[in-house]
Structure 1
Amino acid sequence: MIIVSIALFKTGDGIVPGSRFAQPSETPSAQKKWDEDLKKMPWLKFPPLNGYFHGLKALVAKSDHTPEYPNPAHQAPLGEPPLSQDIPTPKLYNPYSSDSTVEVCYLDKNNTIPAPNIYAYEGVPQYMPDPAIGSHSIFGIRDDVCFDRFGRYGPYGLGYKLVDGGSDVGIDTESSGSETVWEQTGQINYGQIDWADVQDRCATANKHRFADPDPDTDSLKIAEGKKGRIAVVIRLYTGFKWTQLVVLNFRAMINELALRSGGEYHIHFLLHVKDNDLPIWSDDVAVQLLLDANVPPEFHGLVTLWSEAQMELFYPGKFEDPISKPPINNPAMRGVHGVFRSAHLPLQVFALQHPEYEHFWNWEMDMRYLGNWYELFDRLGSWADKQPRKLMWERNERYYIPVHHGTWENFTAAVEQYTKDSGKPGVFGPVEFPEGKKLRLEQQGGSYVPRSCADGVDSPECGVGEAADLITLNPIFDVHGSAWVFANDATAYGKTPPRRCAIITASRLSRRLLMAMHEEVWRYHHTMFSEMFPTSVAFHHGLKAVYAPHPVFLDRAWEPLGSAVDKVFNGGRDHSTSAVGSPFDLRNEHNHKGATWYFNSEFAGLLWRRWLGYAQQDNRGKDGHRKSGGKILGGKRAEESEDSSGRMCLRSFLVHPIKFESPDEKK
């Protein structure tokens, strides 16, 4: 069953005065420009949502919460909510399961400073919108609490001075009631911390919980009661501008993923050395100088260096040279070993060098999370592992839009109907094509399809409980006919093979997928553009790949409810993101500018900086967009005013890209 919303306030001639849509300007020249903009950016006609910016004095229980959007009973915007006179008190936030085998991890060698907790507020600001795409509930991520900047980052140094071991960040913002987050631990001094030592001590204390690699095969021996560990590999590069806010983010990742979990995760920085002449594998002095110039001392021990020249040594030989062919094969006009086209190469090498990990989260420097990192990664992983293989690729190529599709069960039924209507069978197992090559496991009679599928894809157990080889954070779409700009950047296949892609390289990859990718490159010299290779290798060889529809919010009230978002974001073949009409077509990608998660999002940065307490230019008003109109909103004076709802408090979700955070950075 598909829920289809009906447009309100709409006529055949355009926008009705008094409707929820934005109004065009009155002068003829402005009207003409408005009409031209609407042809290119139709989302401009929708009014901006302001419910994100309500604060702590507007909190209500989730049962009393009225979302500004999507909401079939009310038109957006909803205005100002009722306010309390008091700032509520936050509570410790603990998304970890109770496990008696976990040894407590400490920040200091004397075991006197346990890994801290973050804080959350019970309830949600009244009128805060719900996700337009994706969901909290299907993963079991709580959406009945919200996080302010002090509860989220105060335990890591936000709100107190650098000389006291803090960050000097947040001191100049509204802070009433923030002292609660330091009542149990005090303001922790991070001045002399060595995160590599902290993580290693935690891992050693919890070694009994995790599987060890077989010294003969390098594969993990996961005995009963043991877990496979997970690496979080953060992609760094020389010349990156570190700020105290960046430092806070990675302190949070290490504490929440590695320490609070009892060593389940381990954080690494994979540093791209852009100067190919530097002897990064043969000169310790050169390495130390690089670290001193490019990484804060507290993270030095977590860094692994690599260069593009090094990748040429790991993957030698004659690769097909698309630069000499028509530009469509290599629109970037860059070499095949470079990070832009083949960012997976150093990750493959990293996995080779670290057989102790079962999975690897590939992560970037400009991503932030409102909420607890462990809750996000753990819940996405658990959910993906439970997904059946039947119609997996068909679900993967579609955005889940709750107000349009209804429940997740309704969505899966709709996907099955779309597949039947298409007249094409669903994808299952390895995909054969003339240019495809078998990997050694396949040549020896092995398969990447699990035993649970022995009775066929229709078995209800097929794939259920099988660890996902790939978890992506955007749909996995068929690039053929999609007009995605890098769709034909596939090296050494002879003819263009069937391809799948997920925009943004942030993802969880299994060790066996990375080893399959490694083998494709060194044996066959196969590779593809960075965002296409992991998904395509999984597609070709029958590995389990899953798109996890995490919560994504929109900055405007798209109408008609549900169907408008579906028409644009699932505008490709058979109501999907694939082929002609794809939202990833270069001509359609502008629709993501108002989303909280996409490489060209503008709303993500605006929302994040307002949440941090900084005044921002908001250009989303009527007939205003990126280059005109707008007002300065938010900041200390606004949050402290008598009629303000206080500092912002948001439910958990990912934001990307965050190119700058404080006003000083932009200057």
Structure 2
Amino acid sequence: MRRRLISHRMVIGIPCVLLISVFTIHRFYDGRYDHLASLSKESHHQACRIWPEWDASDRGNLRYDDYNSKEAQPPSVGDAKILGNPDVCLKAESRLDVYRMSPTEDYDWNTVQWGYVQKRCAAGNQHLYIDEISTNSARNHDLWRQPPSPAQTSIQPKQKGGRTAVVLRTWDNYEYTDGRRAWLRALITETALHSAGHYEVFLLVNVKDNTIELEENQVAYKQALQAYVPEEFRDMAVLWNERTVEKWYPEVEEHGAQNQMYQALQIFSHQFPHFTHFWQLEMDLRFTGHIYDSLENAVAFAELQPRRNLWERNGRFYIPELHNGSYDAFTKAVDDEIGDLGVWGPIVTTNFMPKGPKPPPRSEKDWGVNEDADVISLFPDIDPIGTDWIYETMIHGFTDGLATPRRASFVSITRSSRRLLQLVSEAQRESGQWLASEATLETLALLHGLKAVTIPHRIMFANNWTVQQFVENIDRGPPRNKAGGYGISSSYTTHGWVPGPWSQSSYWFAHNDADNQWRTYLGGDCLPPLLLHPVKDE
């Protein structure tokens, strides 16, 4: 059963330059088509290059096409504007072709050290950041030395406006194909370099051999690094195995990446204190829009959300056609339905001391607006109790046991604050309190009274379901948790898969529709800004 379950989870203004082709008019990048300007606050910065004199990766070389979202089939789930301008599409060849082959002998990908390139970029823009830029990449081999000092495990005050780490979870036998390498190069460029170092990308590599003393033996660490990570990405990689996390979290019974996807990230947050936030992304996630824009738009959306009935909004899918395409109307509908009975501050549970902010009177209905979110999820935060989710009963160390209030978001792709990761780490180290990966950050945020936001990004479906069919299948739970309820199709249950629309969706944790859409995108099709997951076949 264990092997079978894991296999399920694994599946689980500047004038425009016009280029005339047979049927298409392309646009080079123009500020008018940068949706970020209307949703987020972009710092004034000088973007960086891989090689100082090589301009092929400059953002000005990206090409955009018109995408008429009004004529296209409307999305059945999510806000088309959340990740970027829905009426333009970023052409795949303009962002990926330059990274597929080495341009000349003078510019060879085999000579690039992406960790150094990113740190050089951040150091060159150090005046933008309040923290000290770490340039000592040589210390990666001893990141995980034990035992941790008190300073490493103390809870630091929440910070706003610091740098963000983009952490890609990968493993020792991951196949770095030409297509995947091109994607990684584009991802680093679109985040770390185009943001002038606000973002920094890392590979967090799970080494399956637990006999390797990664935290103790520098020679063994170096040998593993050379064996498992291509040369160009080695100085941005951090290796770990279960031996590593077992020493940090002896009170937790599970340490495998499947059920404890955040333990290595928790340690990472302790060891890289100059980052205030951490995007944990998966290697099979793809963005069809510019990645920096998509991430920044998500963060800006989260910051603007009021806390009133936020958990109740988080627990639903936003179906635009039910609200005349207005997320504000959706928010009002939830407020009208829930009133003043929604979650307000921490939920009380026995023998648990919340460490989040004290909530103001409920009359302050704008509480939370312009507050940074401690956790951003990309799928609804549901109450797992009573869902028949296969991991519904996986909760340990809490006095109230199975009655402990919880939330879970399927697919552990999130942005978390350092504060929240430290609180999770503290709970696991000191009290042995732990849950399945998908419920870890969301539950601790709920119990501590921290701000959590689900991003209602556009999810496209190929099954042509009607709105009523979606309502009956994915919007039928109780008012505080409408994406939940018994036997939901978005989860894997104790009785297996439940029929639903997700096998033909652009974002979920199983099946291959995301693969199909990514292939059509690479083939030249126009797509608006989307998150595609999982993309397994390139």
TM class by shorter-chain length? 0.7 to 0.9
1:527-566 to 2 correspondences below 5 Å: 527-559=434-466, 562-566=467-471
After superposition, the C-alpha distances for 1:205-231 in whole angstroms (9 at most, x for unaligned) are 111111227999884796xxx931001
Given that residues 461 and 501 in structure 2 are in contact (C-alpha distance below 8 angstroms), is that contact kept between their aligned partners in structure 1?
A: no
Deviation at 1:133, TM superposition (A): 0.9
Q: Aligned AA for 1:393?
A: W
- Are the structure 2 counterparts of residues 340 and 93 from structure 1 closer, same or farther at C-alpha, using a change threshold of 3 Å? farther
Corresponding residue number in structure 2 for 1:89: 26
1:102-117 to 2 correspondences below 5 Å: 102-108=45-51, 113=55, 115-117=57-59
Q: Helix, strand or coil: the match of 2:518?
A: helix
Stretch deviating more after TM superposition (207-216 or 542-551): 207-216
1:256 matched to 2:161:
no
Match 1:598 to one of 508, 511, 515:
508
Corresponding residue number in structure 2 for 1:393: 311
After superposition, the C-alpha distances for 1:264-320 in whole angstroms (9 at most, x for unaligned) are 111011111110111212333322322222222111000111111111111224x5x
Match 1:307 to one of 214, 238, 241:
241
Deviation at 1:460, TM superposition (A): 3.2
Match 2:421 to one of 495, 514, 518:
514
Corresponding residue number in structure 2 for 1:179: none
Given that residues 280 and 414 in structure 2 are in contact (C-alpha distance below 8 angstroms), is that contact kept between their aligned partners in structure 1?
A: yes
Corresponding residue number in structure 1 for 2:11: none
1:331-350 to 2 correspondences below 5 Å: 335-350=253-268
1:272-421 to 2 correspondences below 5 Å: 272-317=206-251, 319=252, 335-406=253-324, 407-420=326-339
CA distance in 1, matches of 2:43, 2:336: 46
TM-score (norm 1): 0.68
Match 1:197 to one of 116, 119, 122:
116
RMSD: 2.7
Corresponding residue number in structure 1 for 2:407: 500
Stretch deviating more after TM superposition (574-583 or 493-502): 574-583
Deviation at 1:469, TM superposition (A): 0.3
1:92-241 to 2 correspondences below 5 Å: 92=29, 95=34, 101-108=44-51, 113=55, 115-117=57-59, 119-124=62-67, 128-137=72-81, 139=82, 141-157=84-100, 161=101, 164=104, 189-212=108-131, 219=156, 227-241=161-175
Given that residues 209 and 227 in structure 1 are in contact (C-alpha distance below 8 angstroms), is that contact kept between their aligned partners in structure 2?
A: no
Given that residues 404 and 566 in structure 1 are in contact (C-alpha distance below 8 angstroms), is that contact kept between their aligned partners in structure 2?
A: no
Deviation at 1:113, TM superposition (A): 4.4
Deviation at 1:571, TM superposition (A): 2.1
Deviation at 1:250, TM superposition (A): 1.3
CA distance in 1, matches of 2:244, 2:163: 27
1:618-629 to 2 correspondences below 5 Å: none
Match 2:490 to one of 584, 595, 601:
584
- Are the structure 2 counterparts of residues 233 and 141 from structure 1 closer, same or farther at C-alpha, using a change threshold of 3 Å? same
Given that residues 605 and 658 in structure 1 are in contact (C-alpha distance below 8 angstroms), is that contact kept between their aligned partners in structure 2?
A: yes
Q: Helix, strand or coil: the match of 1:523?
A: helix
Q: Aligned AA for 1:476?
A: D
Match 1:429 to one of 345, 357, 366:
345
- Gaps of at least 5 residues in structure 1 are 1-83, 166-186, 320-334, 614-646, 662-667
Match 2:518 to one of 608, 611, 617:
608
After superposition, the C-alpha distances for 1:165-191 in whole angstroms (9 at most, x for unaligned) are 7xxxxxxxxxxxxxxxxxxxxx96534
Deviation at 1:99, TM superposition (A): 6.7
Given that residues 370 and 654 in structure 1 are in contact (C-alpha distance below 8 angstroms), is that contact kept between their aligned partners in structure 2?
A: yes
Identity of aligned residues (%): 29
CA distance in 2, matches of 1:583, 1:412: 24
Given that residues 157 and 419 in structure 2 are in contact (C-alpha distance below 8 angstroms), is that contact kept between their aligned partners in structure 1?
A: no
Deviation at 1:119, TM superposition (A): 2.0
Q: Aligned AA for 1:132?
A: S
Given that residues 166 and 280 in structure 2 are in contact (C-alpha distance below 8 angstroms), is that contact kept between their aligned partners in structure 1?
A: yes
Deviation at 1:143, TM superposition (A): 1.2
- Are the structure 2 counterparts of residues 592 and 261 from structure 1 closer, same or farther at C-alpha, using a change threshold of 3 Å? same
After superposition, the C-alpha distances for 1:110-143 in whole angstroms (9 at most, x for unaligned) are 5554852252333126854332211132x37111
Q: Aligned AA for 2:109?
A: Y
CA distance in 1, matches of 2:505, 2:95: 22
**How many matched pairs?**
485
Larger Rg: 1
CA distance in 2, matches of 1:274, 1:209: 39
Deviation at 1:344, TM superposition (A): 1.1
Q: Aligned AA for 1:437?
A: F
Deviation at 1:244, TM superposition (A): 1.2
1:657 matched to 2:534:
yes
Given that residues 158 and 419 in structure 2 are in contact (C-alpha distance below 8 angstroms), is that contact kept between their aligned partners in structure 1?
A: no
Deviation at 1:458, TM superposition (A): 3.2
Corresponding residue number in structure 1 for 2:138: none
Deviation at 1:392, TM superposition (A): 0.5
Q: Helix, strand or coil: the match of 2:86?
A: coil
CA distance in 2, matches of 1:493, 1:100: 42
CA distance in 2, matches of 1:311, 1:285: 20
TM-score (norm 2): 0.84
